[in-house]
Structure 1
């Protein structure tokens, strides 16, 4: 698996809220103003081409006309997807179009005609003038009201006015004269300017969301379904890996208990029974037997402690991953070069998985690698934890089923991570586990 590198980027100064507002206002305005003539053009073009092709379809002339209409609608749809990206604040993905299976003429002609997204593109081209006209009317009205009202002093003198007895401000009960009229128009300009951004933003979003629904809505829904199915498959794989890892751990624990503490306890019971019989006939022999039983008890306790460390190491729970790995490295029979600067506490499941990755890897190194040194590295990055164990042994390790690392691979996958093993024959082994936070 390729090594994970922390990427450092130099962030440019963020624009001020006012600058972002002005920029978005300009984007929305140009989107609506350009959308209106495009809407008029597409409705005239597609309506004429579509009904011409439909009417002449019976004599086959309409088929190439309909094909040209559909392909032209695709072109306008591609342009519209590029235009609505800045309005919505994100790039609109290009949808999937059906491709012809062969190179034949009829295959090339008929395949676009059977593509649902192509007809949605055509439908958008035919009816986009409706939201475009509504949005254009609002945007033009608000910009004209804001600019005209705020600049009333620059043009009021040049406009002829009706006689004072029919002056508009006077009819509205606001007094008479030029001053009242200017104040009224300026107040209207302030209102339009104050509501300019939300009105223009709403108009642009109405038009853009209509386009997005027809031009990429079905494709986005299809991608969401695919992502949900992929996530479900990953969850099922993780569940299966967790069950497999748990079963492997239970079998190993059962074997270790049977081969170790259970055999010692059986011997301990036999020694104590023999000592009980020896107390009346040979006290010295009974005393020696009890001393040997005490030794067996201490060894059994040591084995039980070792097994408990394999289930839930107390030092990992109490002091964290760094201390637990230090203790693990000190018990290894091969010299370990430990590089684990992870001092902060992590999620318990993440710490436990990382610990068992290192523990199992060191156990395999001690048993099978014939290595002289082991390097253990644990690094934290933005996405999780990278655990790497490398030795200079004979190599040949594998995560395939039936090998020793298969259970470790199941444990890592159950945690949502990925395990990679590089182990050429005679070239040592490097085991890398990427564990997500």
Structure 2
């Protein structure tokens, strides 16, 4: 006869083991939730680091800033995690800028996101702590450091120590690549302007594209092909030992579309524009800070460089004052050493006034003459403003445009004066006759 007492005791032991295991698991979940939600980020970071040392996990910290400069890896991680966390994370942040269609989603501090890559697990956590940020204020060649309260943010990326090589050589590059794809898909171009040594951003609202530029088709085609060749030649620049940058000099009379061409280049490449006002920079240190803070895939523009010629007359011995030669040295040195798909554009109304050192190869690689309006340019403008490709007055206007000097801006102004194409074209004919008679 079977001894049922033995089975009863066995069942009791089994129930006890299961109950104990469930209690331990529940306690672990509670502790983890408590640690994530209630423990301050600074203490959590310390405890996490301590446990990491005792475990098989490795944690990489990615700070938002590196030596006061933006950490591109942090920004890439923020974009990447914002896209993937919207469906799984509990705490998110949302923001929307003017003229942007998309709502930007990012994870909130303390939030944890688990990612799988090639079958392995990578865990992200955003932590922040209060710190005193040293802000350098430049005014009239003097500067001082001001300590202000700030939030220092960083991502902690944790994974098994056996996956360290995979994380560094494959996973993090994957994050950067995916972030670029996400940003390109919903990117709103930015226009940065400088106030001494700091950039301020606004949305780039210029509507110009290569399709709407009043430019000779052959020249337009040459510029587009040059830009396409530039962005495709990363390995070529690396192989020949040159910085991945390119310089363009736009020269010609006022109103010939130099600013519109810059906007069209930005729209074509999906590059942000940094409009540098040299006369607004009080020191070489401030200029160095501005150039170092530029993002990759951007266009640095110095408009009307001929109007900044007083920079050349400044005493070279005064190192704190910005000089044109000092700017060129920074562009050739600091800016070039960190250049990744960067373009520099100088514009001028008077090319003949420029120092030859400014125009040498390696600085201004392509010189583009922005001339007066041509018959081909007029046809593009009238199509833009009135949507017509043929009109009885076209022949007369083509002839007059070939005989006078009229800028695309002047032609556009006449075409905008009336919604009636007949009235607008007659007004343009009158303008061209006036110019011809006064020549």
TM-score range, shorter chain: under 0.3
Name the structure with the higher helix share: 1
Structure showing greater Rg: 1
